[in-house]
Structure 1
Amino acid sequence: MENATPVSIHLTTVITQPDGSKEKLTLESEGEWIQKNNIDYLKYEEEQNGGTVRTIVKMEEDSAVILRSGAVKMRLAFSRGNKMMSSYESEHGTLSLLTNTKAYTHHTPGKKDGRFQITYGLEMQGSSVGTYKMTIDYKEAVQ
């Protein structure tokens, strides 16, 4: 994509299970920040389950989409205050997911750094699998 800027990415996800227990996941990665048609995109890769997962995060004013491909195939759609259909592909077939976006912010204090934060409920096949609070901090990588 055009005008890609290398960025350092720090991602934290806190998952609150339906039973109230919490799990925290963190990821440090290098990636790219791209702005196209006034929409911000983050692209990065992570190793998971013995394979590479490529992730693209599309951040608009009131909505976002997280696309994952490779070892994991997933499409999560978010719209502030709305429920959105999403999907997760596994070797057993495609599962339908529902995201319920409770909070969404995307701050860009600098031109090429920012914080994307989203809190959402996730349902899989009609049952709650928990509430997720994802924070992605990114800043221009020093070359």
Structure 2
Amino acid sequence: MIKGVKKVENSTPVSIQLNTVISQADGTKEEFTLTSTGEWITKNNIDYLKYEETQEAGTVRTIIKMEEHQAVILRSGALKMRLAFRDGESMMSSYDSEYGTLSLITETKKYTHRIPQEKPGRFYVNYNLEMAGSPVGNYTMTIDYKEVTPR
């Protein structure tokens, strides 16, 4: 490597299958799925997953920064949110609403991340979410992603 020259990002197009299950304290359960395309980037030994989704309010861009024992989900566009996770810990997070920024706390129960090699990559997090001091529910988010082969 030439001194002073940065390594070019390793960007790979991927297909994404996202599944989120939300369990509220009252026993109700909601499940959401999303199929999308995006990119998986490795930079400075940290993995990133980037994708966009279209919601009623507009386009939401999501970047997930995945490290060995912690992760951060950054959402921007029609929805602005920062969710931080560290295995076995509670972390400060935030959600920007039309009423201002609300503080969130994520209590991570389990976090795992596997990069795609022989199997698809997987981002998995199970956490309790608190908004402004009140419990919102338990969330389980699984994102499977694999390289898209060009035609």
TM-score interval for Structure 1 and Structure 2 normalised by the shorter chain: over 0.9
- Residues 21-32 of structure 1 aligned to structure 2 (within 5 Å): 21-32=28-39
Q: Larger C-alpha radius of gyration, 1 or 2?
A: 2
Contact 1:9–1:28 (CA<8 Å) still a contact in 2?
yes
Could you tell me which residue of structure 1 aligns to residue 104 of structure 2?
97
Could you tell me which residue of structure 2 aligns to residue 62 of structure 1?
69
Question: SS at 1:81's partner residue?
Answer: coil
- Residues 48-59 of structure 1 aligned to structure 2 (within 5 Å): 48-59=55-66
User: Deviation string for 1:7-48 (max 9, x for gaps)?
Assistant: 000000000011111100000010000001111100000001
1:12 matched to 2:12: no
Contact 1:112–1:140 (CA<8 Å) still a contact in 2?
no
Q: Give the TM-score normalised by the residue count of structure 1.
A: 0.96
Question: SS at 2:10's partner residue?
Answer: coil
- Residues 36-115 of structure 1 aligned to structure 2 (within 5 Å): 36-110=43-117, 113-115=120-122
Residue identity matched to 1:91 = E
The structural deviation recorded for 1:112 is 8.7
CA distance in 2, matches of 1:135, 1:43: 15
Contact 1:12–1:134 (CA<8 Å) still a contact in 2?
yes
Contact 2:116–2:145 (CA<8 Å) still a contact in 1?
no
Identity, % of aligned positions: 69
CA distance in 1, matches of 2:48, 2:118: 13
The structural deviation recorded for 1:111 is 7.0
Q: Over aligned residues, Cα RMSD in angstroms?
A: 1.4
CA distance in 2, matches of 1:87, 1:49: 21
User: Deviation string for 1:58-84 (max 9, x for gaps)?
Assistant: 000000000000000000000000000
When you count strand as a share of all residues, which structure comes out higher? 1
Residues 94 and 111 (structure 1 numbering): CA distance in 2 closer, same or farther, change over 3 Å?
Answer: farther
